[in-house]
Structure 1
Amino acid sequence: MSQSSSRSPSPWLIVALGFLVLAVAFAGRATLSLVMPDLEAEMGWTRTFLSSIAAASLVMMAGLAPFAGRFVDRHGARLVLVTGMIILGLGCFAVALSHGVVLFILAFAGLFALGQGLASMSVVSTAIAQARHEKVGFATGIATSGATAGQILILPLIATIAIYADWRWCFAATSLLCFLLVPFLWRFMPGRPADTGQGDASAVGQKTLRRDLLHILKSPTFHLLFWSFFICGYTTSGVIETHFLPFASFCGFGRVPSAAAFGALSVANLGGMILVGWLTDRMNRPLLLGLIYLIRGLSFVLLLNIGADYATLVLFAVIFGTVDFSTVPVTASLVKSHLGLHVMGLSMGLISAGHAIGAAIGAFLGGYLFDLYSAYYWVWLSSMALAVLAGLMVFLIRQKPPTVVAMPA
């Protein structure tokens, strides 16, 4: 018996580790938005330039996601997540050391993006599915809610650091958290899929990449999920994660109240992901996913009419947060049932690449349109229209029992 297989990690331990990985990784990404005004003041950079760096990092993640997913299909999540957190920690440390444009770009759009592309929700979702939880939707909802839970606990602390110290200490603190997780991931995360009891690792190894890609690309469900997740990326990681805090500052709200509103968004996001994960195991999943997108689209009406009303900002944060990352457990469940566990990593990687590309476009356009019009009106209007379109798209997916489809011959 191999050392890895003798570990037999608890499925709920895998959930907990995935939760912590995403908590640290997404808090690190949100830090750029938090310190954006400081970077503009110290470096003289425009919001378009900083948004371009954020967009470039998302493009890097998009290119990496399918390869990370394929590796998880064949070899398990341990090495992917350990490598991701090491690179993410190095990227944050390099950002903290940067005093010029070249190092900052290489650090954030290079190392940081590479690390987060490996320590991603698609990798964590696949690891949960490989562990064969009885209620995989609920387990995925809990694990991926770490993406927002970290912003509840970690981001306010980082905001406090930004008040009393240089912005570089914010990234240095995130770097330390990344490195602290590494030994626990190496010790307790499963290695090859067989370590989780999946039992079909040899069959996975026999599949060619070309055959798996054809199996995925021939599925109408994949294309509906890909393009809806592309829009998901535009409306979440693109415009909200990158521009919510700068928008709040633009409206005249202070740094701490703005961070508190973002914290309210994160609390609602945490509850929404767990609730939707629970519902994923119990109701029509295409209907559930479509309603999430429609509610998200309508929530942007509040940002279009916010003025200087802080209560409206918080109300938007709560509504949007509830349907923010809650698309992930439903999408992962649909991928597993409609495309198959044997290609789930690759499928989620491709779909996550679409999410990252959409996010890159949203991050860049948000800054570009703000510099062009000195307002976020067109950013919020486009987000509303696209989210409604995504909701209508996923209504076309046929409901199936949440079981694994058979491998193609």
Structure 2
Amino acid sequence: MTAASTPARTGPNIPLIIVCGCLIALISFGPRAAMGLFFQPMTEARDWSRELFALAIAIQNLVWGIGQPFAGMMADRYGTWKTMSLGSVLYAAGLLLMVDAQSAVALHISAGVLIGLGIAFSSFSLVLAAFGRSVSAQQRSLAFGIGTASGSLGQFLFAPLGGALIANIGWQQTLIIFAGIVAIVPLLAVALRGKPSQPSAGTAQENDQKLPDAIAEAFGTRGFILLAIGFFVCGFHVAFITIHLPPYIVDLGMDLSWGAWAIALIGLFNIVGSLASGYGGGRYSKPILLSLIYLGRSAAILAFIILPISPATVLVFSAVMGLLWLSTIPLTSGLVAVMFGPRYMATLFGFVFLSHQIGAFLGVWLGGRLFDQTGSYDAIWWCGIVLGILAAIIHWPIEEKPVPRLAQQPAE
């Protein structure tokens, strides 16, 4: 075959991948970030305890975590578009079934199992993996920051949107609208179709490695284990605050609208935090930056619970936590890519994310259970402070370097 007759090989359309991936992250993260707004109206309408609703969202987080490695494996094997299309169907179905949930079982299946699986198979983790195999190693950290920031923008947009819709048309109609928005994901995911087994995905050694070997290698690496343990704390913090901050604010005598704006403000400032984290992760030590983020969270929580509550303290706390919110994700996912390369990133980050979601399960469920038992969130706030300090200690010794298998390979 002559050169003239050889089809030209074109690279991925990176701008289109970034735009569509960011929109998917925005849509998939938005409704679940607004779940705390349904806490008051649903428990009052169904005469449920806080623990019952909190357990449903805790199950959602746990199922999301358990499903994430399998979603990563499916994306690595069958491609991102098929995986995200399945996730969109499950996500929308869960939102629709929440509308008529009359029992604890129905709520746990809809809000818990279905939405949890839906998020796992359509969330920003798969978006970041698609970014990781499409951009150069030098651009990855910033791309991860942009993708994470898009999820935060979803939180910023959906929290006030959800609050306004619930106030004007009711929580049931709001869930239906959210389901319709989630159904758009498969159309956007077409741009992310493909899988990392293609020749351009990485080095020859990466492509020759089998998935079981990649998993065994990761779990035999000390830094990967520490990263997973530390990410548990991130899940504990963000899940507890996302679900319980709105009712906590109401308990202290403020209107629910302040809870909506608190969640929205966290999302808005997390855009800045995620972008800064993605930028900084490409220039400074990722483990040290993670340690500083967790210390900052503990300091912010401590100040919030010891200062008198007011609109000003709520807004300042939300802004500070927003800067530290998901800024852990570009750094954590970046460390996975540095250690093991992009070949099985969706799967390996899925295992790290499982630890995150176990923390999320405990943060949400314990928040509801301890409140029902004590009438206060104080114990869970103090637990968050201690865990933040421990996470800072755990991340510090992580080594930011490729495993021996990749250490001699040239940078992509």
**Fold in common (TM above 0.5):** yes
Letter in 1 for 2:139: K
233, 236, 254: which one pairs with 1:234? 236
1:370-404 deviation digits (Å, cap 9, x = unpaired): 11111111111000110111011111012338999
Contact 1:19 1:143 in 2 (8 A): yes
Contact 2:290 2:328 in 1 (8 A): yes
CA shift, 1:343, in A, is 2.7
Question: Hey, what does 1:225 align to over in structure 2?
Answer: 227
CA shift, 1:54, in A, is 0.7
Question: Hey, what does 2:217 align to over in structure 1?
Answer: 215
Question: Hey, what does 2:337 align to over in structure 1?
Answer: 336
Given the superposition, is the C-alpha separation of residues 36 and 213 from structure 1 closer, same or farther in structure 2, using an over 3 Å criterion?
Answer: same
CA shift, 1:25, in A, is 2.0
Query: 3-state SS of the aligned residue for 2:284?
Result: coil
Indicate yes or no: 2:103 matched with 1:72.
no
Deviates more, 1:7-16 or 1:29-38: 7-16
Alignment of 1:146-185 (within 5 A): 146-185=150-189
Contact 1:341 1:405 in 2 (8 A): no
Letter in 2 for 1:229: F
User: Unmatched 5+ residue regions in structure 1?
Assistant: none
167, 180, 189: which one pairs with 2:192? 189
Letter in 1 for 2:30: A
CA shift, 1:102, in A, is 3.2
Question: Hey, what does 1:279 align to over in structure 2?
Answer: 280
1:204-261 deviation digits (Å, cap 9, x = unpaired): 4x54443222101110010110000011111112x11111111111111112222122
TM-score normalised to structure 2 length: 0.91
Query: 3-state SS of the aligned residue for 1:341?
Result: coil
Query: 3-state SS of the aligned residue for 1:128?
Result: helix
Given the superposition, is the C-alpha separation of residues 374 and 212 from structure 1 closer, same or farther in structure 2, using an over 3 Å criterion?
Answer: same
Alpha-carbon separation, structure 1, partners of 2:12 and 2:96: 31
Given the superposition, is the C-alpha separation of residues 246 and 291 from structure 1 closer, same or farther in structure 2, using an over 3 Å criterion?
Answer: same
31, 34, 48: which one pairs with 2:34? 31
Deviates more, 1:269-278 or 1:188-197: 188-197
1:123-162 deviation digits (Å, cap 9, x = unpaired): 2221111112441111111112222111211221111110
CA RMSD of aligned residues (A): 2.4
Question: Hey, what does 2:108 align to over in structure 1?
Answer: 105
Alpha-carbon separation, structure 2, partners of 1:114 and 1:198: 27
Question: Hey, what does 2:64 align to over in structure 1?
Answer: 61
Contact 1:57 1:110 in 2 (8 A): yes
Indicate yes or no: 2:126 matched with 1:128.
no
Letter in 2 for 1:228: G
Alpha-carbon separation, structure 2, partners of 1:192 and 1:201: 16
Given the superposition, is the C-alpha separation of residues 260 and 196 from structure 1 closer, same or farther in structure 2, using an over 3 Å criterion?
Answer: farther
Query: 3-state SS of the aligned residue for 2:184?
Result: helix
Question: Hey, what does 2:296 align to over in structure 1?
Answer: 295
1:309-363 deviation digits (Å, cap 9, x = unpaired): 2211111111111011000001111111112322322210100000011100110
Alpha-carbon separation, structure 2, partners of 1:403 and 1:313: 47
Query: 3-state SS of the aligned residue for 1:325?
Result: coil
Letter in 2 for 1:279: G
Contact 1:249 1:255 in 2 (8 A): yes
Letter in 1 for 2:375: S
User: Unmatched 5+ residue regions in structure 2?
Assistant: 1-7
What count of residue pairs does the alignment treat as equivalent? Answer: 401
Alpha-carbon separation, structure 2, partners of 1:224 and 1:81: 29
Question: Hey, what does 2:49 align to over in structure 1?
Answer: 46
Contact 2:223 2:398 in 1 (8 A): yes
